Amino acid sequence: MWALHFYLFSLQSTSVAVRRQCPADRRKVMAKGVLVDLTKCVGCGSCTVACKMYNKTEWTKRPALPDSEGERLAAAITDANSLGIEKKYAPSSGENAELSAENWTVIQKRRFDKETGKCTSHQPGKDITALGIDIHIHSADAVSSATKTDGSEVWRYIKRQCLHCKEPACASACFAKAFQKTEAGPVVYYPQLCVGCRYCMLACPFSIPKFEWHKPIPTLEKCMMCSSRVNQNEAPACVSVCPTGVMKFGDHDELLKEAKEIIAADKKYEQHIYGEEEAGGTSWIYISDKPFAEMGFKTTVPKRSIPSYTNKYMHFTPVFAAAWAAVLAGLYIITGIASRRMKINKKTAKEGTEENVPSKNVPK
């Protein structure tokens, strides 16, 4: 019980200390965002390298299997060699690039038939998120696995990372406050507060946080929107290196206004800004000339923020926690008293028995 009290106290004090360190809490900052124009990306991958260099994330060799995260996981936790699976670097760009604990951002390639405009790349048909593991089932009508270079295809590249929701479900689900939304926009993760429950993975509607399954002491990993740079009003590392100006950093509301003007002025764009309404709105917003569903974006995400579904129940969490602590304290006291009574009774019974036994020295 004292250990529980100590843990809760240290959790609270660390959380306060971390929040104190966050510059965005000390001063009022205009919420920042990034506008991504997918028509401008040439797939050079510079942004993924900049992210790795700035955040010092590893280039790790993993069992590389084509389609199944489940098989990759099985191979990661058993011995990949014994399964005859070759280990390769997890790609950070290309058709098989996926976000991982090391790849906080990836560039995914999609191919489209020039005549029909239909996507000919394999693409996720359905996402099943169970126990925080994403299993991608590829659509049955995947047309071809070979890239055509005869001019009959056009290619598009999609930069993926955390969208930094305005009301993040990950932060709402995390009772340890390991995920926190800063006023400047980034949703920041504090591994020192994380207890590894992985509720954040289940809560995120975009399947962003990734768990370090392969490490003995794992943490969650995701893009932090280079919060230390953003808090100084500097563009994130990936944004700053892009040679074609795909991403624009600035005040979120201004960027949203600009995105609306761009798509209204040029009908090649889809008349939709991804992230304007999805999950209640996100700090990173996208415009595209191809349908977002075919670009691999989740288009079934509700417009309402995810925490708004649970807010009225979450109010009861502190009450429940306090009541549960009181129940545990009560049980501790009751079992303590009972155990002490049992010890006294045993001792008394033993002494009583000894008193009744005639001493050898007692004269007859």
Output 112 or 206, the one with its CB closest to ligand SF4. 206
* DSSP run (H or E) holding 36: strand 32-37
Contact (Cβ atoms closer than 8 angstroms) between residue 186 and residue 23: no
Q: Which residues bind ligand SF4 (CB under 6 A)?
A: 41-47, 50-51, 54-55, 104-105, 107, 157, 159, 161-165, 168-170, 187, 204, 206, 208-209, 222-226, 236-238, 241-242, 244, 246
Output 85 or 225, the one with its CB closest to ligand SF4. 225
Output 132 or 168, the one with its CB closest to ligand SF4. 168
Helical residues (DSSP H) of the chain, grouped into ranges: 2-21, 23-26, 46-55, 69-77, 169-173, 199-203, 227-230, 237-241, 252-265, 307-314, 316-356
* E strands present in 144-283: 153-160, 179-181, 187-189, 210-211, 220-221, 247-251
Concatenating the DSSP letter of every residue in 293-304 gives: TTTT------SS
Q: Which residues pair with 210 in a beta bridge?
A: 221
CB of 203 to ligand SF4, least distance (A): 6
Output 132 or 209, the one with its CB closest to ligand SF4. 209
Output 22 or 50, the one with its CB closest to ligand SF4. 50
CB of 243 to ligand SF4, least distance (A): 6
Output 63 or 209, the one with its CB closest to ligand SF4. 209
CB of 102 to ligand SF4, least distance (A): 12
Contact (Cβ atoms closer than 8 angstroms) between residue 88 and residue 64: yes
CB of 289 to ligand SF4, least distance (A): 15
Helix, strand, coil % (nearest 5) of the chain?
A: 35, 20, 45
How many C-beta neighbours within 10 Å does residue 315 have? 10
CB of 148 to ligand SF4, least distance (A): 21
Q: How far apart are CA 153 and CA 117, in angstroms?
A: 9
Output 80 or 273, the one with its CB closest to ligand SF4. 273
CB of 12 to ligand SF4, least distance (A): 22
CB of 109 to ligand SF4, least distance (A): 10
* DSSP run (H or E) holding 87: strand 87-89
